[in-house]
Amino acid sequence: MGKTPVDSAPLKGVWTATDEATTGLVRLDIRQPANDTLTLTAYAASASGVMRLAEVGAHCYGPRPSGSGPASAMTAATRSGDLSALLTFYLKGEILVLDAFIDPGPRDARVPHYARELFHRCDDERRRDQQARGLSDDRRTEGARYTDVRPGSPPAPLDVSLLAGDWDNVNGTSPDVRRVTVSVANGLCLQWSSDPSGASAARWSPIVPFAVAADDPTPIGFASRLIAAGSEAIVTSYCTRGILVLDCHIRCEDERRDHLVREFFCRPWSPP
């Protein structure tokens, strides 16, 4: 029996940034022009008004590897000039949460960085309220996240030693990843364990680090791509207040459905 396709209906439509002063994406238009095709058109803040970025393909994920639950997550990759960004989305109480991993490009002085942006479904009443206050697509945004260019020497590579070491899943009953190890000594790479004993898989996977902001090289997370028998995963992570949040967007070639696994990790420690 074939797997049930993931229904993208909860993602489709026009979404608006909750932050009306955003320097990032102002609006998203998610469509399904054909049965097996999902597209994202993003509109970004820029110095010359809100700018439409090129339409890109997107991929949706269910909440679990089995069952029939509709899509609760999505990934896409976008470009704007030399800038590229991995966009990972998930739905939380009808808020579409974007975790963006942005690489400004080789000729940009900004560091590769992480950003979180939130969206709600298009609301005409809110739009009218904003227009009445002079907030339209003509607004000009300095230091825009996706459309600004800051010429200069490429920044120094990020020092991810702050993230290095073992991270244990706070959910002791998780059937998925139990421990994540980030290594700097072996080159920037990631290893994980699904074994309750914490025994790690033999293979290390390279990671790309991201900073907390375009002008702050403090490392906050990373992105990686893992390929295993029967599946391929886009792995992204960010760290906040001692927690490592790990998202695995898993595309399955076997009978499992494409799905998102989100887990929380911390470094076990003992107070003095």
* Least distance (Å) between residue 162 CB and another protein: 12
d(CA 183, CA 80): 31
* Between 1 and 92, CB nearer to another protein: 92
What is the chain's Cα-based Rg?
19
* Least distance (Å) between residue 260 CB and another protein: 13
* Least distance (Å) between residue 192 CB and another protein: 16
* Least distance (Å) between residue 25 CB and another protein: 12
* Between 204 and 264, CB nearer to another protein: 264
* Between 133 and 138, CB nearer to another protein: 133
Give the footprint of another protein on this chain (CB under 8 A). 17-20, 22, 92-95, 116-118, 120-121, 123, 125-126, 129, 133, 169-174, 241-243, 262-264, 266-269, 271-272
- CA 9 vs. chain centroid, Å, equals 20
* Between 16 and 46, CB nearer to another protein: 16
* Between 148 and 263, CB nearer to another protein: 263
* Least distance (Å) between residue 62 CB and another protein: 17
* Least distance (Å) between residue 251 CB and another protein: 22
Contact partners, residue 154, CB within 8 Å, separation at least 6: 106, 107, 108, 109
* Between 60 and 96, CB nearer to another protein: 96
Is the Cβ–Cβ distance between 63 and 259 less than 8 Å? yes
* Least distance (Å) between residue 5 CB and another protein: 24
* Between 151 and 269, CB nearer to another protein: 269
Both tokens assigned to 156: 């120094």
